Structure 1
Amino acid sequence: MKPFIYKSFVLVAVLLTLTACEKPFDELETDPNRATSATAALVFRGVLNDVYGVTGSPWSAEQRWNQFYASNYNYYATNEYSWTTTGLNFFTLKNVLKMEEEAKKQTGTDANVYAALGKFFRAYFFENMTKRVGDIPMTEALKGLESTKPKYDSQKAVYVQVLKWLDDANADLAALIAKNDRALAGDIYLGNDLKKWQKVVNTFKLRVLVSLSKKEGDTDLNIKTRFAEVLANPTKFPVMESMSDNLQYIHNTFNKYPRNPSNFGFNATRENMAKTYVDLLVEREDPRVFVVAEPAEAKLKAGLKATDYGAYVGASSGEDLADMSTKALAGEYSFQSRKRYYSNDVGESVFIIGYPELMFTIAEGINRGWAPGSAEDFYRKGITASMNFYGITDAAALDKYLTGPKVKYAGNTAAGLEQILTQKYIAFFQNSGLEAWYNNRRTGIPTFLTGVGTGNSGRIPKRWLYPNTERVNNSDNYKAAVQSQFSGSDTVNETMWLIK
Structure 2
Amino acid sequence: MKRINKLIGILAIGLFFSACSKFDDSINTNPNKASVASGTKLIANAELYLPDMSSNAYGNLYPQYLSNTTYTEDARYATVYFNFYSWYYQPLINLETVINSNTLDANEGPVVNQLAIAKILKVYFMWHITDRWGDLPYSEALKGKAAVNPTYDKQQAIYTALFKLLDEANAALNVSAGTIKNDILYGGDISSWKKLGNTIHMLMALRLSKVDVTIGKAEFNKALAAGVIDDNKFNLVYKHLAEQANENYWYNSFTRLGRKWYAVSKTLVDRMKPFDDPRLKVYADKNLSGNYTGLEYGLNTSVIVDDYSLLGAAIRQQNSPVYLITYAQALFAQAEAAKIGWIAGGDATAQVNYDLAIEQSIRQWNANDISGLAAFKAHPEVAYDANNGLAKIATQRWVHLFMNGYEAWAEWRRTGFPALSPPTGLGKPIPRREGYPTQERSANTANYNAAVAAFPYGGADDLNARVWWDKP
Q: TM-score range by the shorter chain?
A: 0.7 to 0.9
Give the 3 Å change call, closer, same or farther, for CA 189–433 of structure 1 in structure 2: farther
Structure 1, unaligned stretches of length 5 or more? 1-29, 301-305
1:33-65 deviations in whole A, cap 9, x for unaligned? 677875112111111112333x1327x342233
Partner of 2:461: 490
Q: 1:468 to 1:281 in 2, by over 3 A?
A: same
* d(CA) in 2 for partners of 1:85, 1:407: 37
State whether structure 2 residue 356 is matched by structure 1 residue 377. no
Q: Which residue of 1 aligns with 2:68?
A: 71
385-394 vs 123-132, greater mean Cα deviation: 385-394
Q: How big is the shift at 1:239?
A: 0.8
How many residues were matched structurally? 433
User: Which residue pairs with 1:317 in the alignment?
Assistant: 297
Of 244, 258, 275 in structure 1, the residue corresponding to residue 249 of structure 2 is 258
Identity among equivalent positions (%) equals 29
Is 2:389 the counterpart of 1:416?
yes
Q: State the partner residue of 1:277.
A: 268
* Displacement after TM superposition at 1:260 (Å): 4.2
2:67–2:262: 8 Å Cα contact kept in structure 1?
Answer: yes
Q: Which residue of 1 aligns with 2:14?
A: none
Residue 110 (structure 1) shift: 11
Match of 1:450 in 2: 422
Q: Could you give the per-residue CA deviations for residues 425-447 of structure 1, whole angstroms, max 9, x where no partner exists?
A: 111112x3411111111122122
Partner of 1:292: 283
Aligned 8 A contact 2:73 2:300 in 1: no
**Aligned letter for 2:123?**
A
CA separation in 2, counterparts of 1:158 and 1:467? 19
> Is 2:197 aligned against 1:201?
yes
In the alignment, structure 1 residue 391 sits paired with structure 2 residue 384: no
Alpha-carbon distance in structure 1 between the residues aligned to 2:42 and 2:371? 48
Q: In the alignment, which residue of structure 2 is the partner of 1:21?
A: none
Residue type of the partner of 1:317? Y
Q: How far 1:250 moved relative to its partner?
A: 0.8
AA matched with 2:297:
S
1:143-164 C-alpha deviation (Å, 9 max, x unpaired): 3333333322221111111111
Please say if 1:406 is aligned against 2:381: yes
* Whole-Å separation in 1 of the counterparts to 2:441 and 2:252: 43
Alignment of 1:472 onto 2:437 = no
Considering only CA atoms, is the larger Rg found in Structure 1 or Structure 2? 1
> Of the candidates 170, 173, 184, which is equivalent to residue 180 of structure 2?
184
Map 1:210-249 to 2 at 5 A: 210-217=206-213, 219=214, 222-231=215-224, 233=225, 237-249=226-238
Letter in 2 for 1:289: L
Q: Report the aligned-residue RMSD.
A: 3.0
Higher alpha-carbon deviation: 189-198 or 383-392:
383-392
CA contact (8 A) 1:352 1:433 kept: no
TM, length-normalised to structure 2? 0.83
Alignment of 1:11-50 (within 5 A): 38-50=37-49
Local SS of the residue matching 1:379: helix
**SS of residue matched to 2:240:** coil
Q: CA deviation at 1:401?
A: 1.8
TM-fit CA distance, 1:475: 1.5
Deviation at 1:496, TM superposition (A): 2.5
Question: Which amino acid in structure 1 is aligned with residue 39 of structure 2?
Answer: A
Deviation of residue 185 (structure 1)?
1.2
Q: Deviations over 1:96-118 (max 9, x none)?
A: 12223446443599962122123
Question: Conserved in 2, the CA contact under 8 Å of 1:120 and 1:169?
Answer: yes
* Equivalent position of 1:155 in the other structure: 155
